[in-house]
Structure 1
Amino acid sequence: MGSVLGTILDPAADKMLMTTLTVTLAMKDLLPIPLAVIILGRDVLLSLAAFYIRYTTLPPPKTWTRYWDFSIPSAEVRPTGISKVNTALQLLLMGTTTISPILPFDIGLPLQALQWIVAGTTIWSGASYVFAKGGFRVVTYAVKNRPPAPPSPPAGS
């Protein structure tokens, strides 16, 4: 079942998981700081963009209460294909990085390759929301109790 609140909470939960993993692994020196900055920076910029889009697409009047009223839809974010691939690769990286210290063999080189791939897909994913069409769509609903539109004149008159 889909809802406006669900379209917000699901990505928010993903972001909380990724943020926690990224910060924790970077603090333990298991994830390079520049990669952590790329991952977190993308999420921060996309979150700021979401707040801006919500504000600009919210039907008037634009009040604090209406802004946070998710029963009033204004825009719907649509994940791009590369963002789905990026999420999967980020989760793979986080899991692999987490278990790497306890493995009986060294995976340093493959892990570094995965880090570069994730850096690239993270940048590509962020750019796809900015430059690709269809990253979000404005949701409009008919206003209740609106008077019916006048009938259109017959064709040819």
Structure 2
Amino acid sequence: MNPKAIPNLITCFRILLVIPLVALLVDRQYGMVLALFAVAGASDALDGFLARRFGWSSRLGALLDPLADKLLMVSSYITMGLLGMLPAWLVALVILRDIVIIGGAAAYQFLIGQVEMEPTLVSKANTALQVLLVLLVLFSFAIQALPGPFINGIVMVVAVTTVWSGFKYVGIWGKRAHHYRSSERKGSR
């Protein structure tokens, strides 16, 4: 086996973790879900470290890694929302943001050209906060109930950063599209 494939294999393992994670959530095995989330987080850190440290990054890895993260988060949010562990409106907001980003990237790709996605600072913060919320809610169900106002505060912060990061992406890609169209018009004169 080529060592350069190790980060991608770890990422594929993380994708496969989605199935037992959802099944255990539905079965209300919150401690096990918390453990799987820890394994997923460690695998994400490990594949990123290996790719950077040894130069084992690849185009496939650049596609698989965010896909694995999205599958894990979206499946967790949907399942936790259906189980009443997270507010339905927050789940809808998180999913809507992802649909807007994916739809915008697809439209840009189709209408203008190659999409180079680079996460913004607010997007990175939003992802970290989304993960933190899942971990805190799981901890609250599995180990020790955390105060409702504390969880509600994190829910609100996640909601704000979700909207903020969604608007940030729309703004960035809107500016790029406008710049492209402007330069295209100038070039046709």
Confirm or deny a common fold (TM above 0.5). yes
Q: Does 2:47 correspond to 1:7?
A: no
List runs of 5+ in structure 2 lacking aligned partners. Answer: 1-54, 178-189
User: 1:96-140, CA deviations, whole angstroms, 9 ceiling, x for partnerless residues?
Assistant: 111212334442110000000000000001111111479989xxx
Corresponding residue for 1:49?
Answer: 104
**Matched residue of 1:76: which SS?**
coil
Matches of 2:122 and 2:142, distance apart in 1: 31
Aligned residues: 122
Corresponding residue for 1:35?
Answer: 90
List runs of 5+ in structure 1 lacking aligned partners. Answer: 59-73, 138-157
Matches of 1:49 and 1:122, distance apart in 2: 16
8 A contact 2:104–2:170 mirrored in 1: no
Equivalent positions of 1:81-92 (< 5 A) are 81-92=121-132
Q: Does 2:147 correspond to 1:101?
A: no
Q: CA deviation at 1:53?
A: 1.7
Matches of 1:51 and 1:100, distance apart in 2: 38
Aligned-residue identity in percent: 34
Question: What is the one-letter code of the residue matched to 2:164?
Answer: W
Change (3 A) 1:104 1:75: closer
Kindly indicate which of the two structures has a greater share of residues assigned to helix: 2
Q: Does 2:177 correspond to 1:122?
A: no
**Matched residue of 2:116: which SS?**
strand
8 A contact 1:78–1:135 mirrored in 2: no
Matches of 1:5 and 1:135, distance apart in 2: 28
Matches of 1:104 and 1:75, distance apart in 2: 44
CA RMSD of aligned residues (A): 2.4
Question: What is the one-letter code of the residue matched to 2:89?
Answer: P
